[in-house]
Amino acid sequence: MAAKRILLIIGGGIAAYKSIELVRLLRKAGMTVRCVLTRAGEQFVTPLTLAALSENKVYTSLFDLKDEVEMGHIQLSREADLVVVAPATADLLAKMAAGIADDLATTLLLATDKPVLAAPAMNVRMWLHPATQRNVVTLRGDGVTVMEPDEGEMACGEYGPGRLPEPEAIKQAIDDALARAPAAVPLTGQPDFAPANHRPLYGRRLLVTAGPTHEPIDPVRYIANRSSGKQGFAIAAAAAEAGAEVLLVAGPVPLPTPPGVVRIDVETAVEMAAEVEAALPADAAIMVAAVADWRAADTRAKKIKKDGSGHVPPLALAENPDILAGLARSAKRPPLLIGFAAETNDVIDHAQAKLARKGCDWIVANDVSADPMGGETNRVHIVSKDGVDSWDRLPKQAVARKLMEKIADELDKCSPADSD
């Protein structure tokens, strides 16, 4: 198999130093790497370092006569299997979204006919700014894969999402993008990459529930569970990346809304049930929320006080609606209905029983015996009437992406999205 060719565009940001490690990982994996440095990128890493590591010429200027003669910028933009932008600064993302081509990097990005992967890195406020979020939605709509930045402490001392994903994670995203890249033969009359309408879930509407529910006892107390919402949010993000229209009904979790996702916040199971009902129809519903099974039978309007007698107030519970089972019985049942189940023992047996009891099509059974809720990975088994598909332990984002592929295949079986 021919070595995969990566055109790596390095923007200007403190995280640019991580691109050196990325080049090393790509070379180690046998890939060919050509680097392009923006003028700002040159402030953080030198062309000499990149040339030595990539064992290739490094390009910096649009108006370099010698480079143009050796390899024109159009050819440079096409002579790759994948164009990777890392770090993708707010400025680069904005120019890419607007189609501005005012230096070599942005000209290549506009001229390329190859898939593009961007790994953002910027200050948390810049990442969360509506302008950047708008640009990310635009780029994803254009078929660009925009990774989620990492969350953590930043060079500027602030905390939040905006850190460049680690080189290993970018390398994994590159492998995924190369695996997804279409065969060399272009579709008739179409460029040979995946614009919005060729992404696997384009034209589909997906409903996702995520997080816990909070069931109030009185104005200051509630019943809850340990769900972090991370897996559900990763699923909503992956669905949007795959081109779907995504509605996320979220219980109370402090997670940012994934780009391209419409989010409705709810607190209780009863509110979640109502929002799910209002969101229909959908092509698929993925019920990841850890809905509380019970709520307080009567919620007090005033805080319950100790009366000093040692008397413990009784807490009567009422059963919450089973949203998934209700959806399965509904006239508006989505063609593909997926439940989640966190189990500590007899995972498959419990999942099979739950599949029948809830009337859904798949149960994604999550083995939480080794890893409590709230972790970064999941080991899941997809249980359906056709059998059990067991996956290795994977990061939640990878579970989400793999699930989207399976969902896209399943929906295509029911009704092909388009025939071209």
Binding annotation: 293, 303, 321-324, 340, 354, 358
Q: How far is CA 101 from the centre of its chain?
A: 28
Site stretch for ligand CTP (CB under 6 A), options 31-39, 181-189, 286-294, 391-399: 286-294
Q: Give the nearest distance from C-beta 364 to ligand CTP in angstroms.
A: 8
CA 325, CA 337: separation in Å to the nearest integer? 10
403 binds ligand CTP (CB under 6 A): no
Q: Give the nearest distance from C-beta 354 to ligand CTP in angstroms.
A: 6
Query: Of these, 59, 127, 340, 362, which contacts ligand CTP (CB under 6 A)?
Result: 340
CA 132, CA 317: separation in Å to the nearest integer? 45
287 binds ligand CTP (CB under 6 A): yes
Question: Mask 313-332, x = binds ligand CTP (CB under 6 A)?
Answer: -------x-xxx--------
| Residue 115 or 232 with smaller CB distance to ligand CTP | 232
291 binds ligand CTP (CB under 6 A): yes
Beta bridge partners of 380: 366
Give me the torsion for CA of 183, 187, 190, 194, rounded to 10°: -40
Q: Give the nearest distance from C-beta 239 to ligand CTP in angstroms.
A: 16
Pair 41, 17: CB distance under 8 Å? no
Give me the torsion for CA of 146, 261, 176, 210, rounded to 10°: 130
Pair 127, 259: CB distance under 8 Å? no
Query: Of these, 104, 139, 269, 380, which contacts ligand CTP (CB under 6 A)?
Result: 269
Amino acid at 414: C
Site stretch for ligand CTP (CB under 6 A), options 70-78, 249-257, 283-291, 301-309: 283-291
Question: Mask 201-220, x = binds ligand CTP (CB under 6 A)?
Answer: --------x-----------
Q: Give the nearest distance from C-beta 291 to ligand CTP in angstroms.
A: 4
CA 136, CA 302: separation in Å to the nearest integer? 45
233 binds ligand CTP (CB under 6 A): no
Pair 247, 279: CB distance under 8 Å? yes
334 binds ligand CTP (CB under 6 A): no
Pair 202, 244: CB distance under 8 Å? yes
- Give the total of residues touching ligand CTP (CB under 6 A): 15
Residues ≥6 apart with Cβ < 8 Å to 119:
84, 85, 86, 87, 88, 147, 149, 164, 165, 170, 173
232 binds ligand CTP (CB under 6 A): no
State yes or no: is 414 an active-site residue: no
- Residues lying near ligand CTP in the complex (CB under 6 A) are found at 209, 269, 287, 289, 291, 293, 320, 322-324, 339-341, 354, 358
Catalytic residues: 156
